[in-house]
Structure 1
Amino acid sequence: MQGTRLDTARILAARQVIDPVFLNTPLYRCEALEAELGCTVSIKLETANPVRSFKGRGTEVVAGQLADSGSRAVVCASAGNLGQALAWSGRGRGLDVTVVASRFATVAKLDRIRALGAGLELVDGDHELARERAAAVARYEGIRLVEDSLDIETCEGAATIGLELVDTVPPFDTVLIALGGGALATGVGHVMKARAPEVEVVCVQPLGAPALTHSWHQRRVVTTDSTDTIADGVAGRRPIPAVLDDLLLVADDAVLVQEASIIAGMRMLLDHAGLVVEPSAALGIAAILEDRDRFAGRHVVTILCGSNVDVGAYHRWVGAAPIHRS
């Protein structure tokens, strides 16, 4: 594909170095959701792995390259999921991993980063401040800075999800992808356009963290001063220009959804599918809820990208909804 940073040959090679525990994740039709959503819904479940998110696919590629080159230390900024994944991948390869995060990040995510043996530095600010601090640590220590979505390995690792999707039968019409930094959307979108161009690629972001969606629509980087969403995993304010360039080549649409719809999506996934997910993973369901007519009668795949959620916050959001067994 002309003009993109991603390369299909490297994506195929990535699948050979990623620990199999992250590959071939469950993909299945969830009929229990369909009556309320008005379309055929398939779920790609990226939570059934040791770090409970898709991020391990990318960090496996990064950590493998670092270990092969003789590197012994690495640092990243993370809202939680990337940090867990890098800690897991680095631990198995003898890497000294440091994660910089906001002290306001989800406590469960921070605890898991520590439990996986990574050093954790907290900053009094949001994820963008954590990115600045991680860059400073990398310069001072002379070590590799892993930047999610900017580092192509994170995008091409995520793209292996797309390889698994295009092999599915029967075919589907639309894939709904959570949009944060852009690694998942550009990676999966690249594979879709290369191997299944008839599939509509729709990116979904919270109304309270709209920077990359606004950037996609305006075809230029648009930043915001703040974010206001429970979907912390996608709450960026400053899109990366190179990532936007890739996204413009592969996304057919980018939409914003309200917080109430995200919560309703989480509740539906618990109630009808028995799945506990973090807010970012419910963005696809939220998009269908807000525009049923658009997706009516179609076969939609939504990627459930993570399930690292604070239990107390989760219960406040979704309540004690019972699980309906079909």
Structure 2
Amino acid sequence: MLETRLDLDRIHAARRLIDPIFQNTPMYQCEALGRELGCTVSIKLETANPVRSFKARGTELVASLLAEHGRTAAVCASAGNLGQALGWSGRRRGLDVTVVASRRAPVAKLDRIRALGAELELVDGDIETARERAANIARSRGIRLVEDSLDVETCEGAATIGLELVDEKSAYDAVLIALGGGAMATGVGYVLKTLLPAVELVCVQPSGAPAMTRSWHERRVVTTESTDTIADGVAGRYPIPEVLDDLLAVADDAVLVQESSIIAGIRLLLRHTGLIVEPSAALGIAAVLEDRERFAGRHIVTVICGSNVDLDAYHRWVYQ
């Protein structure tokens, strides 16, 4: 029995609370991408939904529980995707949602947060600065602070992706997951290691934002002073101890990839799948590009976790 904060019965129950629009997302083999990479590649597409990322699987649980207990407001810090997801889930349940984000966050993500009716407060600094401000707002207003990855609901919502992977008919050898705060990695990893333990879970993080990966390898929290990556969605500096403990229980490996490989992954996904993805969603492809021998001849699944991308930046990455 895995010793984590997650619970398989709660994850199964989550399917009844998460709006069906975020569930049973497409998974398919991409032969062209597989030929390019020298392995069989299946895409698990988490972007064909109203918030264009997997994050609403978790915020649907959070918002449902808040509404059930009569809470009327919540605040979160976000690099962009969590804020959109909480805005969508909260609006559906009559919750007042406040999102704190960095001024450096992609404009497209910030515009979407506003469009979903959330109150948006911008701060100087990065996501860690936003987390401090969100915690202050929660204390001063007496409202719920939603903390991605620390709140187990965000992990167990993401874990429903794992249930869908288990339901797949085709066999696969490894699942490659973008690693940031750890909600998706620990959630999917927990389900896989409980129900399909032979499948390898490989977590992928940019070398310019390596805190969680370093922490996994050293089996202790390792922080960094700064981040330098285009993959803003996974650019945290302070791993959460409880989440690291869960990750240590379920992950088989955690690897770092270069920015050039992330950009190459973005380009390959556009060329061979027609998908426009944000950098975090290309991390799995980047990992294969940097270690082709490891994955040669194997069947890998990569989770396309978000497509909220700044188009000007995207054009620079793809066409320059």
Which aligned pairs between 1:196-235 and structure 2 lie closer than 5 A? 196-235=196-235
Which aligned pairs between 1:162-173 and structure 2 lie closer than 5 A? 162-173=162-173
Q: Secondary structure, in 3 states, of the residue corresponding to 1:148?
A: coil
- 1:287 positional shift: 0.2
Q: Distance in 1 between matches of 2:148 and 2:305?
A: 15
Give the match for residue 284 of structure 1: 284
Amino acid of the structure 2 residue aligned with 1:284: G
Question: Deviation digits for residues 283-303 of structure 1, max 9, x if unmatched?
Answer: 000000000000000000000
Q: Distance in 2 between matches of 1:169 and 1:297?
A: 19
Q: Distance in 2 between matches of 1:247 and 1:120?
A: 31
Q: Secondary structure, in 3 states, of the residue corresponding to 1:150?
A: coil
Give the match for residue 133 of structure 1: 133
TM-score w.r.t. length of structure 2: 0.99
* CA RMSD of superposed structures (Å): 0.6
Give the match for residue 82 of structure 1: 82
Q: Distance in 1 between matches of 2:34 and 2:4?
A: 35
Amino acid of the structure 2 residue aligned with 1:54: F
Q: Distance in 1 between matches of 2:272 and 2:245?
A: 37
Give the match for residue 123 of structure 2: 123
Q: Distance in 2 between matches of 1:34 and 1:22?
A: 26
Which aligned pairs between 1:138-153 and structure 2 lie closer than 5 A? 138-153=138-153
Q: Secondary structure, in 3 states, of the residue corresponding to 2:125?
A: coil
Q: Distance in 1 between matches of 2:270 and 2:106?
A: 20
Give the match for residue 324 of structure 1: none
Residue segments in structure 2 that go unaligned for 5+ positions in a row: none
Q: Distance in 2 between matches of 1:34 and 1:117?
A: 41
Q: Distance in 2 between matches of 1:210 and 1:249?
A: 19
Question: Deviation digits for residues 175-210 of structure 1, max 9, x if unmatched?
Answer: 000000000000000000000000000000000000
- 1:32 positional shift: 1.1
Question: Deviation digits for residues 33-68 of structure 1, max 9, x if unmatched?
Answer: 011100000000000000000001000000000001
Is the Cα–Cα contact under 8 Å of residues 78 and 130 in structure 2 kept in the other structure?
yes
Q: Secondary structure, in 3 states, of the residue corresponding to 2:16?
A: helix
Give the match for residue 105 of structure 2: 105
Q: Secondary structure, in 3 states, of the residue corresponding to 1:293?
A: helix
Question: Deviation digits for residues 117-158 of structure 1, max 9, x if unmatched?
Answer: 000000011000000000000000000000000000000000
Amino acid of the structure 2 residue aligned with 1:262: I
Is the Cα–Cα contact under 8 Å of residues 135 and 145 in structure 2 kept in the other structure?
yes
1:296 to 2:275 alignment? no
Give the match for residue 6 of structure 1: 6
Q: Percent identity?
A: 78
- 1:3 positional shift: 2.2
Question: Deviation digits for residues 47-97 of structure 1, max 9, x if unmatched?
Answer: 000000000100000000000100000000000000000000000000000
Structure 1 residues 2, 285: CA separation in 2 closer, same or farther (over 3 Å shift)? closer
Q: Distance in 2 between matches of 1:54 and 1:312?
A: 23
Moved over 4 A (4+): none
- 1:174 positional shift: 0.2
Amino acid of the structure 2 residue aligned with 1:198: A
Amino acid of the structure 2 residue aligned with 1:138: A
Which aligned pairs between 1:302-317 and structure 2 lie closer than 5 A? 302-317=302-317
Aligned length: 320
Amino acid of the structure 2 residue aligned with 1:151: D
- 1:2 positional shift: 3.8
Give the match for residue 155 of structure 1: 155
Residue segments in structure 1 that go unaligned for 5+ positions in a row: 321-326
Give the match for residue 175 of structure 2: 175
Give the match for residue 257 of structure 1: 257
Q: Secondary structure, in 3 states, of the residue corresponding to 1:17?
A: coil
Question: Deviation digits for residues 230-262 of structure 1, max 9, x if unmatched?
Answer: 000000000000000000000000000000000
Is the Cα–Cα contact under 8 Å of residues 2 and 194 in structure 2 kept in the other structure?
no
Amino acid of the structure 2 residue aligned with 1:144: R
1:184 to 2:184 alignment? yes
Amino acid of the structure 1 residue aligned with 2:297: G
Give the match for residue 31 of structure 2: 31
Structure 1 residues 296, 101: CA separation in 2 closer, same or farther (over 3 Å shift)? same
Q: Distance in 1 between matches of 2:233 and 2:302?
A: 16
Amino acid of the structure 2 residue aligned with 1:130: A
Q: Distance in 1 between matches of 2:116 and 2:170?
A: 39
Q: Distance in 2 between matches of 1:26 and 1:296?
A: 24
Amino acid of the structure 1 residue aligned with 2:231: A
Which aligned pairs between 1:43-58 and structure 2 lie closer than 5 A? 43-58=43-58
- 1:170 positional shift: 1.3
